[in-house]
Amino acid sequence: MKAITFYAIYPLLWCVSRLSFKNLYRVSNGLRFILYKVIGYRKKVVKENLLLCFPEKSAEERLAIEKKFYVHLCDLFMEMIKTLNMTSDEIKDRFVVKNPEYFDILEKKNQSCIFMFGHYASYEWSMAAQLHTDVIIYGIYKRLKNPYFDKLVRSIRSKFGAGLIDKNEVTKKIAQDKANNKMAHYGMVADQSPKATFNAHWGTFMGTETPMFVGSEIMAKRTDFPVVYYQIEKIKRGYYTAEIIPLAENPSEFSNFEITDAYFRLLEKQIHKQPEYYFWTHKRWKHRKEAKTTQ
């Protein structure tokens, strides 16, 4: 059944990937109408998240963010499909790394690095950074239940030479690379909602105290790999920039959770600037101690 589903849908995805960007966004507009107006995909979650994070804004202001978000959400999905038939020149033109020389600095020092970023702007095109370095960049991802679609996603995200590591295998993989003195960079989307265990790190994110994922910081301290924030911005429809911002050159010298908190402050700053580009359909604040009362 999984194979039948995949082979029934794949031809449509391939045809979409062959569209010009102008027509791609026309299709995206149609998809947005279906998801937002007809199906109402996760509208309740989006509204609750926006109210929690922006109680100071009026209902009209939050609604405007909501509508813009669904445009971006559909664009993100369509851009991922479009990657199937994009050249390296096309992706470099549309996803510009502002300071690629940072990769040269790392290579001269023979240093691996951990890249932290969030579900903001174009995390799907983030692996285009591989085009600026000969050192392999691994993205950490969650394996899909359908093996055929999982293979497709892996193919899309690794098209320009990057690699993928299942989230359950990342600790082992990084330890092996370090033991073998293999230089590599590891991209980690670090704003997920972890389990609210008794020993979780609770911090303030968008005004609400919530458990925070600290795996990136723990791994950095174990290996003493430098940590950077991969700040992705959306310039306009179909165009993005990314800037590599150092967070910790020597992670072992930082207090516990200091790196994680610094990461969330940078992500928050981006969200406040252009909130429509954050992934509001996630139940990011499903665990929290108390809701926000002030900005």
Residue 170 resides in a domain? yes
User: CB burial class (10 A; 0-12, 13-18, 19+) of residue 193?
Assistant: middle
pLDDT of residue 290: 59
Number of structural domains the chain divides into: 1
Does any domain span residue 246? Answer: yes
Residue 129 lies in a domain: yes
Is residue 55 domain-resident?
no
At 204, phi and psi to the nearest 5? Answer: -95, 120
Q: Is residue 151 assigned to a domain?
A: yes
Phi, psi of 41 (to 5 degrees): -55, 115
Residue pair 160/133 in contact (Cβ under 8 Å)? The answer is no
Task: Give the pLDDT score at 292.
Answer: 47
Do 115 and 228 touch, CB atoms closer than 8 A? yes
Q: Give rounded-to-5 percent helix, strand, coil for the chain.
A: 50, 20, 30
Residue whose structure tokens are 């795996």 = 215
- pLDDT per position as a tens digit, 31-50: 999 999 999 999 999 999 99
Asked whether residue 260 is domain-assigned, the answer is yes
Tens of pLDDT along the chain (295 residues)?
A: 889 999 899 999 999 999 999 999 999 999 999 999 999 999 999 999 999 999 999 999 999 999 999 999 999 999 999 999 999 999 999 999 999 999 999 999 999 999 999 999 998 899 999 999 999 999 999 899 999 999 999 999 999 999 999 999 999 999 999 999 999 999 999 998 887 765 679 999 999 999 999 999 999 999 999 999 999 999 999 999 999 999 999 999 999 999 999 999 999 999 999 999 999 999 999 988 754 444 4
Residue 55 vs residues 48, 266, 294: alpha-carbon distances, Å: 10, 21, 8
Q: What is the CATH number of the domain that holds 205?
A: 3.40.35
| Residue range(s) defining the domain that contains residue 194 | 88-277
Element (H, E) at 208: strand 208-212
Determine, yes or no, domain membership for 286: no
Q: For residue 133, tell me if it sits in a domain.
A: yes
Nearest C-alpha neighbor of 81 from the set 4, 23, 139, 36: 23
